[in-house]
Amino acid sequence: MIKIGIIGAMEPEVEELKKEMDLTAVIRKAGMDFHDGTLNGTPVVIVRCGIGKVNAALCVQILADEFKVSHVINTGVAGALNPRLDIGDILISRDAIHHDMDVRIFGYRLGEVPQMGFLEFKADEKLMALAKEACEKANPDTHVMYGRVVSGDQFISSKEVKEHLISEFQGDCAEMEGASIAHGAYLNNIPFVIIRAISDKADDSAEMDYPTFETAAARHSAALVIELIKGILP
Ligand code: ADE
């Protein structure tokens, strides 16, 4: 059975989706409100997980255990690392990496979770393709590209850290939940995709740009998700 878990870290990232859905119940767990119902007829659970990797991981596990979701979509905003991404553009994850995992002392690569055997969590190819199609329909004037999401418990707002994330990980955008959602989805065998609208350039101007563009960017990403779930058929 299809049931899509849709996660945003903050309220603007989920509020448009919640407005559009037909709500059956709100179930509170771990301080998060899980909105269970349908969106254009498709069963969904929409939830604001809060900021950061721990919140995101807990949220995915609850979606897996309590709601038995078949797919996970993460919608939200991110700082651009790739110079081809401008504020307002959309990045669809090809994969995701924890940029703050460092066990190099025992021979692991920077970003590699020990004993996983790989560095990057790969997004579901079908969801990636559907997300791109949906973006072209929902936001036809928006530049959209596939790329790598790098996540850590850190707001990136300096040129030096940005350069490090590009040179070490070839990251395309930086945010604070995606890799945890990817990691949790992988462990539970659930296909996932991360969709992020660019709110800032993750550099010295990020502190100014982020509050200015956050809401509009979050809505952009949410509009795409509404279109995307129409394409996920049983
Ligand atoms: N989310 C949006 N912009 C971000 C940034 N610059 N760093 C981390 N998370 C973000």
13 is catalytic: yes
Compute the 3-state secondary structure of the chain and give helix, strand, coil in percent, each to the nearest 5.
Answer: 40, 30, 35
CB neighbours of 47 closer than 8 A, spacing ≥ 6?
A: 5, 6, 7, 8, 14, 32, 33, 34, 35, 59, 63
Q: Collect the ranges in the chain with pLDDT lower than 50.
A: none
Is the CB–ligand 1 distance for residue 165 below 6 Å? no
Distance 24 CA to ligand 1 centre (A): 33
Q: Looking at 16, 89, 120, 200, which residue is catalytic?
A: 200
Query: Whose Cα sits closest to atom 1 in ligand 1?
Result: 78
Is the CB–ligand 1 distance for residue 100 below 6 Å? no
**150, 153, 159, 176: which to mutate for ligand 1, most atoms within 8 A of CB?**
176
> What integer pLDDT is reported at residue 213 of this predicted model?
87
Distance 200 CA to ligand 1 centre (A): 7
CB neighbours of 107 closer than 8 A, spacing ≥ 6?
A: none
- Can you give the pTM of this predicted structure? 0.96
> What integer pLDDT is reported at residue 28 of this predicted model?
98
> What integer pLDDT is reported at residue 76 of this predicted model?
94
> What integer pLDDT is reported at residue 222 of this predicted model?
87
65 is catalytic: no
Ligand 1 atom with least separation from CA of 152: 8
